[in-house]
Amino acid sequence: MDKIIVLDFGSQYSHLICRRIREFSVYAELVPYDISYDKIREINPTGIIFSGGPSSVYNKDAPIPEEKIFDMGLPILGICYGHQLIVNKYGGKVKRANKEYGSSLLRVDSDEDLLNGIGKTVRAWMSHGDEAEQIPEGFKVIGHTDSAKAAAIASEERSVYGIQFHPEVVHTEQGTEILRNFVLKVCKARQDWTMEGFVDMTVEKLSKIEGNVLCGVSGGIDSTVTALLIHKAIGERLKCVFVNNGLLRLDEEKEIEKIFGDNFEMNFTVVDAADAFLGKLRGIEDPEKKRKIVGEEFGRVFSEFAQENGPFRWLAQGTLYPDVIESGVSGGPASVIKSHHNVGGLPDWLGLEVLEPLRELYKDEVREIAKILRVPEKLCMRHPFPGPGLSVRIMGEVTPRKLEICKVASKIVEDELSKAGLYEKVWQAYAAVGDDRAVGVVGDERRYGNIVVIRVVDSVDAMTADWTRLPHDVLEKISNKITNEIEDVTWVTYTISSKPPATIEPQ
Ligand code: XMP
């Protein structure tokens, strides 16, 4: 398989470069900027991209890739900070300029390869503080803006290119086309990253593992696809466990047991550990502590199951690429946003090795695989649900009453969206609850009740999300139903914050 590696210099958009490239069926992988030359040779990429980043090549501690990378004879594309690195490395001059953020008009001076077929002018999204004042010898300017004279440069002889703007963001017109030109025309990468190919390759790799595999399934698409891939590879050596941690959606445990029983031939066991999880969470208010407790309790339950039903060598999890990046374990400079419990949070005493066959994939890629593996539509269309369950949707202590409110209100949200034909159009929809209260009037009585927070978002990969502009009549029905059917609730609010700066889950 041909591969493009993206060296991550810390831009918040780095992962989007991979995302865009994979959209035209070429495998792209984000790697830390200081990846060693030997490691790159091992990966054997077809081309290299330097991402943007917050640093300046002037800074003493500016991140610099290993020198030998430039001599590998591989095509290189530098974006923003990556562009300045290239200018600097080949003997040009970078100067501090006025910060330029937002959209600029890029005028194409030469459309031979990188900027081929994108038109004479395009809107390009800039986000930088430095610019190339003097381009290195052997390079030519292939595009400029009013303020950046060398917004795009090329040394066709070396196959090295630099662009000051971000082609990976949707605000850059023809941005994907520019990446496509680099990957397909300059690097001549083959478009061989298909989900059918991924399934074959993964099943083949998995069929080589020795020992038994324990897979925690949640009823979500990620863990289901993980289990199915492993089952295809090793059959009966896989055992799936579904843990009822008491933090699931209303009646979810019954529903999942039925779907698995009716559709799949895998070993499947339900472990009821609700009392244990809820007991450990009693009195705990801090969000990260709650996540940690849930993660550890999962570990304990799995370990107990493993001892009783083993021996197992592996624990399989449906970790996806965004979880890996957000948890800051990709090795890049991205900071830890939330400690997703299914990444790197397993206690050492578990004694099982971790198997994460989907850790390179985005959600929509997993959905495609689910179709290939004939996962029932009903399960595919379920919204993602966080591993720590309702503990992250209940702000403050998880109490039986707040759990009940959260479950029933979320069911109302989901049902009303389904009735309006909107459930499958949105990314996630749920109700959250905390300790805030507000006064209401019920009949002639004043009541001091809970506030329920509704969150409905649109997203393509959970990395960014926007709040869904739900029709007012749907919101009204949701609010009426919740306040009528859940006695303690007096107010219903709707969340209008996008991600960033908010996250999808409240904790
Ligand atoms: P945030 O809240 O970080 O969520 O914007 C992004 C997506 O990830 C889900 N999520 C989790 N999934 N373990 C998971 O398996 C977790 O700890 C976790 N936290 C958040 C969330 O529902 C959303 O789809």
- In DSSP notation, 416-440 reads HHHHTT-GGGSSEEEEEEEEEEEEE
- Over residues 72-87, the pLDDT tens digits come to 999 999 999 999 999 9
Mean pLDDT of 59-81: 95
The reported pLDDT for the residue numbered 328 is: 56
Q: What is the pLDDT of residue 342?
A: 52
Q: Considering only CA atoms, which residue is closest to atom 15 of ligand 1?
A: 387
Q: Mean of the pLDDT values across residues 242-255?
A: 96
Atom 4 of ligand 1, nearest CA residue = 504
Cβ–ligand 1 distance for 382 under 6 Å, the answer no
Give yes or no for residue 246 CB within 6 A of ligand 1.
no
Q: Which atom of ligand 1 is nearest to the CA of 326?
A: 3
pLDDT at 41: 96
Is-catalytic flag, 168? yes
Please return the burial class of 440, using the count of CB atoms within 10 Å of its CB with bins 0-12, 13-18 and 19+: middle
Site of tokens 């002639």: 444
* Residue extent(s) of CATH 3.40.50.620 domains in the chain: 195-380
Q: Which residue lies with its CA nearest to atom 11 of ligand 1?
A: 386
Q: Mean pLDDT, the chain, as a whole number?
A: 91
Residue 166 annotated in active site: yes
The C-alpha atoms of residue 449 and residue 491 are separated, in whole angstroms, by 8
* Residue nearest (by alpha carbon) to ligand 1 atom 8: 386
Q: Which residue out of 458, 504, 507 has the highest number of ligand 1 atoms within 8 Å of its CB and is therefore the one to mutate?
A: 504
Is residue 237 within 8 Å of residue 212, measured between CB atoms? yes
Q: What angle do CA 105, 108, 110 make, to 5 degrees?
A: 165
Hey, which CATH number is domain 195-380, 3.40.630.40, 3.40.50.620, 3.40.50.11030, 1.10.150.130?
Answer: 3.40.50.620
Q: Please state the three-class secondary structure of 271-303 as a single string.
A: EECHHHHHHHHCCCCCHHHHHHHHHHHHHHHHH
247-255 long-range contacts, Cβ below 8 Å, gap at least 24? Answer: 247/277, 247/278, 247/294, 247/388, 247/389, 247/390, 247/391, 247/398, 247/403, 248/385, 248/389, 248/390, 249/385, 249/390, 249/407, 249/410, 249/411, 250/407, 250/408, 250/410, 250/411, 252/219, 255/219
Residue of 100, 131, 168, 360 marked active site = 168
**Alpha carbon of 14 to ligand 1 centroid (Å):** 20
Report the pLDDT value the prediction gives residue 344, as an integer from 0 to 100: 45
* pLDDT (0 to 100) of residue 347: 58
Q: Whose CA is nearest to atom 17 of ligand 1?
A: 340
Which residue has the least CA distance to atom 19 on ligand 1? 386
Residue of 489, 315, 502, 313 whose CA lies nearest to 406: 489
Averaged pLDDT for residues 438-453: 93
The helix (run of H) or strand (run of E) holding residue 107 is strand 93-108
CATH number of 3-186: 3.40.50.880
Q: 428 C-alpha vs ligand 1 centroid, how far in Å?
A: 11
Kindly indicate the confidence band of residue 183, based on its pLDDT and cuts at 50, 70 and 90.
very high
pLDDT of amino acid 475? 98
383 Cβ inside 6 Å of ligand 1: no
275 burial type by CB count under 10 A (0-12 exposed, 13-18 middle, 19+ buried) = exposed
CB of 226 closer than 6 angstroms to any ligand 1 atom: no
- Closest-CA residue, ligand 1 atom 10, reads 386
**Cβ atoms of 123 and 106 closer than 8 Å:** yes
Q: What is the pLDDT of residue 326?
A: 62
Active-site annotation holder among 80, 187, 215, 406: 80
pLDDT tens for each residue of 136-167 = 999 999 999 988 899 999 999 999 999 999 99
Residue 504 Cβ inside 6 Å of ligand 1? The answer reads: yes
Instruction: Return residue ranges of the chain for CATH 3.40.50.880.
Output: 3-186
Tokens of residue 489, six digits: 């609730």
- Residue for token pair 């698995």: 260
The domain defined by 399-494 folds into GMP Synthetase; Chain A, domain 3 (3.30.300)
Given a cut of 80, is residue 49 above it in pLDDT? yes
Closest-lying ligand 1 atom to the alpha carbon of residue 388: 17
- Window from 285-294, 372-381, 416-425, 479-488 with minimum mean pLDDT: 372-381
- Determine the Cα–Cα distance for residues 170 and 180; give it in Å rounded to an integer: 14
Q: Is the pLDDT at 343 greater than 50, yes or no?
A: no
Ligand 1 atom index nearest CA of 383: 24
List where CATH 3.30.300.10 sits in the chain: 399-494
**465, 507 Cβ separation under 8 angstroms:** no
503 alpha carbon to ligand 1 midpoint, in Å? 9
The residue from 144, 166, 341, 383 that is catalytic is 166
Distance CA 14, CA 167 (A): 11
CA of 341 to the centre of ligand 1 (A): 9
Determine whether the shortest distance from the Cβ of 328 to ligand 1 is under 6 A.
no
Q: What share of the chain is helix, strand, coil (3-state, %, to 5)?
A: 35, 25, 40
**Cβ(78) – ligand 1 distance below 6 Å:** no
Q: Atom 24 of ligand 1 has which residue's CA nearest to it?
A: 384
pLDDT for position 100: 67
Q: Give residue 130's pLDDT.
A: 84
- Whether residue 187 lies in the annotated active site: no
Q: CA quadruple 441, 443, 449, 452: dihedral positive or negative?
A: negative
How far apart are the C-alpha atoms of 98 and 42, rounded to whole Å? Answer: 41
Tens-digit pLDDT profile for residues 316-326: 989 888 777 66
363 pocket-lining for ligand 1 (C-beta < 6 Å): no
What are 220-233's pLDDT values in tens digits? Answer: 999 999 999 999 99
